[in-house]
Structure 1
C-alpha cells in the first residue's frame, strides 16, 4: 500500500490534496486511499455529488460500490463541490488502478484567506500508523 506524503488523510480513508491555483478560495482534490480501494475490492459504481453542492467535514458526499460492499465517501473539508470526476461514471475501476491520480473523486473549493484547510487532517505517517493498527 502506498501513502503519498504530499496529501493529508482522514480516519475514514479519504485523501485531500491542495491544488495549485490562484482563483477564489482554495481548491482541495479528494479521493479514497490505496488502502480503502484495496479493502473494497473491484469498484463497479461511483456516485458523486453535483457541482455546486455545499459540504461540511465528515458528511457523506457520495458512494463507492464494489463487488463486496457499498461505502460512503466523506468530505474532509468544508466548501463547495466545484468539480466531479465524471470519467469515473464509465470507468469506476480507475479508482482501483490509480487511487491517487486519475481515480480522484471531487474537488472542493474552500472559502478563506489562504490558510491550509487540510491542516487538521492526518499526515501520511499518522494515516499509515492508523492503517497498520488495523
Structure 2
C-alpha cells in the first residue's frame, strides 16, 4: 500500500483548522513539520530524526493532504520525499496523482502505531465537530 485514504461526506469541518490540528498532532510527537494551506486544501509533512528517519530513507516524511470542501473532503496519508520549499506547484502532484508520488515502503517499515493514532485523532476531531 502506498498511502491510506479516508473520505468524509456530510461533516461540517473547517479544512484549514483540520490541517492545523494534524500538524499539531505531529508537533506534540516531536516531529519537524511544515504545512502549506492551498485553495483546494492543505499539504502537511512531518519527519523525525534518528532511527525513524533512517527507516524512511532519510529524505522521507509522513505526507498528508487534506482536500475538498467542509461537507465533502478526503485525507490521504503516505510517505514521500521531504519537500524543502513547498509551493503550490511542487505539491500539486500529491493532489492529482497520489499513487505515483507517495513512496512504496514495505509495510513492516511503516509506523502502523503512529498512523493508527493519527487516524483516531482525526476521526475524533471530525466526529465531535471540534473543528
Give TM-score, length-normalised by structure 1. 0.31
Give TM-score, length-normalised by structure 2. 0.31
- More helix per residue: 2
